Amino acid sequence: MTRTGPGPAGAPAAAPAGDAPTGAAAGPGWPAIEPLLRAAADEHWLARAVADLGLDRVAEVVVEELAVRCDPVPVDGAAHLAFELTSGGERACRLLTVDRDGLTSKRDGWQAAPVRITHDAVDLLRGLYGPGTDRRTSRRVTTCAELNALGPAPGGLTAIVRERQRLAVAVQAVVAACQRHPVDLGGLSTRFGSDKWADLHWYTQHYERHFARFRNAPVRVLEIGIGGYDAPDQGGASLRMWQRYFPAGLVLGLDIVPKPGVRGPRIATAVGDQGDPGLLDDLGRRFGPFDIVIDDGSHLNAHVRASFTALFPHVRPGGLYVVEDLQTAYWPGYGGTVGPVAGPGTSVGLLKQLVDGLHHREWVPPAAAPGPSYADRHAVALTIYHNLAFVEKGVNSEEGAPDFIDRGWSAPPA
């Protein structure tokens, strides 16, 4: 549960929206990574994108991505590796440090590293961001120092062998990060500190079922609610989880509090109140259309309804709009209804309205002008779990029952 608007506990009023989301790169959106993602399905265009962006900037993008994908290694101390990208006659190098906290990088010091991993830039980017069915053998070259190049060292040969083992584990972690492999969303949730699994909720099993078809696609994901309350560098656990789960996805987070400290190579953040329809519409126009929108914001029922109305038009056909924490439809402090039936103005009331709209061609009498709403015409499926709902976007164009079937009603005489 994440606050993104004025809540029942006296949360502050909405901050003004910024001109652009803040992310790992300067400027609106994801200026460095986006052209690489768009070109990743075709080697020719990917090579053009690398040339346009410059190999040094591409190297920055790649090592930021590897930091997201590299799992911590179960060894004491740190291993240092040289990582080299090549393209034509150019090369760009970075020093990678791998330890129990994961992977970090810097520009200097790579010359002295005992191991060097070299990748063709286009080949590596194709593997990182290209079609999920692409399983070609990488053109990686790994060069390791000889044993005597590591000595002399305190502890003699035993210390050298341990260092070699530490390097081997680190090399494997980096090589694995360069390849695409399945990850468990529940495990990612607990690793990054999201409450979507084994904490307040048990959502990830349902997310995996509904998001499977998007897994390797270049999706755009918007999540309302970043977390961390007023702290500018706190929160973002779910954004990091989605960044790792969708290897070619772009992730945008919206919160009422500025979050400049929540960063990632494919993460950007925006500031604003989820109850402001104009702001949400502008957000959708600038950074959509979205394949997935997740409302994990204030969970005030009025906000849930306002956000859906404003953002559902900015979901792609075939995309999903997700509403979390439906329990607040029964909590008065959030605008919910006391008792076993949620009122029409609640989030559950919204879902009931969507079910009715899905069947608008069966209404008796037929809908009066101006006819069915946008949601009635474009919500094509609803799946509801405990406190969690998925709404699928499409074209609700199926005809109703034929006219000759008696509906038990006739129009009043003119």
Measured between alpha carbons, how far is 154 from 246 in angstroms, rounded to an integer? Answer: 44
Residues across the chain: 414
**pLDDT tens for each residue of 270-315:** 999 999 999 999 999 999 999 999 999 999 999 999 999 999 999 9
Query: 183-393 has which fold?
Result: Rossmann fold (3.40.50)
- List Cβ neighbours of 297 (8 Å cut-off, separation of 6 or more): 2, 3, 4, 5, 224, 225, 254, 274, 303, 304, 307
The residue extents of the domains of the chain are 33-177, 183-393
33-177 and 183-393 share one CATH topology?
A: no
SS3 339: coil
Q: Measuring CA to CA, which residue among 243, 254, 246 is closest to residue 67?
A: 243
Q: Which two tokens stand for residue 129?
A: 């961001």
| β-bridge partners, 116 | 82, 143
Strand partners, 321: 293, 391
Catalytic residue numbers read 299
Q: What is the pLDDT of residue 2?
A: 52
Contacts of 288 (CB under 8 A, 6+ apart): 220, 222, 314, 315
CB contact at 8 A, 372 and 358: no
pLDDT recorded at residue 148: 46
User: pLDDT, tens digit, for every residue of 25-84?
Assistant: 333 578 889 999 999 989 999 999 999 999 999 999 999 999 999 988 887 889 999 999
Phi-psi group of 54: left, alpha or beta (phi > 0 → left; psi -120 to 50 → alpha; rest → beta): left
Residue-level pLDDT at 368: 72
User: Which is it for strands 22-23 and 267-271: parallel, antiparallel or unpaired?
Assistant: antiparallel
CATH architecture under which domain 33-177 falls: 2-Layer Sandwich (3.30)
Q: How far apart are CA 319 and CA 299, in angstroms?
A: 22
Look up the pTM and report it.
0.86
Residue 218 has phi, psi (to 5 degrees) of: -80, 70
- Let me know: does 340 contact 311? Beta carbons within 8 Å: no
In the block, which residue shows the tokens 């706190």? 234
Contact criterion met (CB below 8 Å) for 14 and 275: yes
d(CA 387, CA 329): 10
**Rounded distance, CA 132 to CA 287, Å?**
24
pLDDT of residue 23: 38
Token couple for 346: 């609640």
Q: Are 250 and 33 in contact (CB under 8 A)?
A: yes
Looking at residue 147, its pLDDT comes to 43
Q: Which of 117, 61, 48 is nearest to 87 (CA)?
A: 48
- Per-run averaged pLDDT (10 residues), the chain, 414 residues: 43 35 47 92 94 96 95 86 94 95 94 92 92 58 57 57 82 88 89 88 94 94 95 94 96 96 94 96 96 98 98 98 98 96 97 96 79 94 98 92 78 68
Q: What is the pLDDT of residue 198?
A: 79
